[in-house]
Amino acid sequence: MDKPLVVVNFKTYSSASASTADVLAEKMEQFSDSNVRMVAVVSAFDLHSISNSSNNLEVWSQHLDPVGQGSFTGWLEPETAISRGAQGTIINHAEHKVSLEHVKKLMEQLPEGFPVCACAADVEEAKALAELGPTFIAVEPPELIGGDISVTTADPSIVSDTVAAVKSVNSNVRILCGAGVKNGKDVSKAIELGAEGVLLASGVTKADDALSVLQDLVSSI
């Protein structure tokens, strides 16, 4: 198996936006040579600054739109995102839902091999997304997002069922899970359930000591 992933979504937290995003990314970069694939999913505003100052940290966009360069006001146009440092993207996050058509068109537009992590609220949505062949599917029950109980504790079967369902559709798609993930125990449980890593936010972005949380997250891998 490739390195397990710890994917931290900065969302629009004040503790992970603009200058504080740079600081958090620096902390994450300290783990870039470890046994995990550490990914920072940052605001489009912060892509350039973070990718410019990090040599080793993988940086993804939080969303992209399937539009070209030209007459498209306010959209997140992929070619410019890539030139500004996006090395991957999440799409269809519970907080930024899009249609299957959006995901499909976006994937057609992106360069071959560009990592796309499509988020799914449940097994059915994960299966539908798997048909499109994204690099990753992250299953995240919306009601657990931002909460204190990890999906791996509150609803472990959604993780294992998603793994089984997605693999039955497309065995190349890799599965992450998220919502309420906070510590290394949650990460090892995710891997035990068949996921290849976690997608999390508040456990890191709202932590008093993000470095210790990051250390704990990678501790059991």
CA-based nearest residue to 150, from 165, 140, 137, 164 = 140
Contacts of 101 (CB under 8 A, 6+ apart): none
Helix axis angle, 210-219 to 184-192, nearest 10°: 30
Residue ranges of alpha helices (H) inside 61-182 are 78-83, 100-109, 123-130, 151-154, 156-169
Closest chain position to ligand G3P (CB)? 202
40 forms part of the interface with ligand G3P (CB under 6 A): no
Is 93 a residue of the active site?
yes
Q: Which one, 115 or 180, has the nearer CB to ligand G3P?
A: 180
Q: Does 217 bind ligand G3P (CB under 6 A)?
A: no
**Which member of 145, 176, 177, 214 binds ligand G3P (CB under 6 A)?**
145
Q: Is 115 in the site for ligand G3P (CB under 6 A)?
A: no
Residues in the chain, overall count: 221
The yes or no reply on residue 98 touching ligand G3P (CB under 6 A) is no
We find the least distance from the C-beta atom of residue 36 to ligand G3P, in angstroms, to be: 16
Task: Output 130 or 201, the one with its CB closest to ligand G3P.
Answer: 201
Instruction: Name the active-site residue from 93, 112, 143, 196.
Output: 93
Interface with ligand G3P, residue 179, by CB under 6 A: yes
Q: How far apart are CA 141 and CA 168, in angstroms?
A: 21
Distance of alpha carbon 202 from alpha carbon 14, whole angstroms:
11
48 catalytic residue (yes or no): no
Interaction residues for ligand G3P, span 188-207 (CB under 6 A): 199-203
Please report how close the Cβ of residue 180 comes to ligand G3P at its closest, in angstroms: 5
Distance CA(32)–CA(101), nearest Å, equals 34
Contact between 140 and ligand G3P by CB under 6 A: the answer reads yes
Residue type, 190: A
Of 6, 21, 11, whose CA–CA distance to 53 is shortest?
Answer: 21
| Residues noted as catalytic | 93, 140
* Interaction site with ligand G3P (CB under 6 A): 9, 93, 140, 145-146, 178-181, 199-203
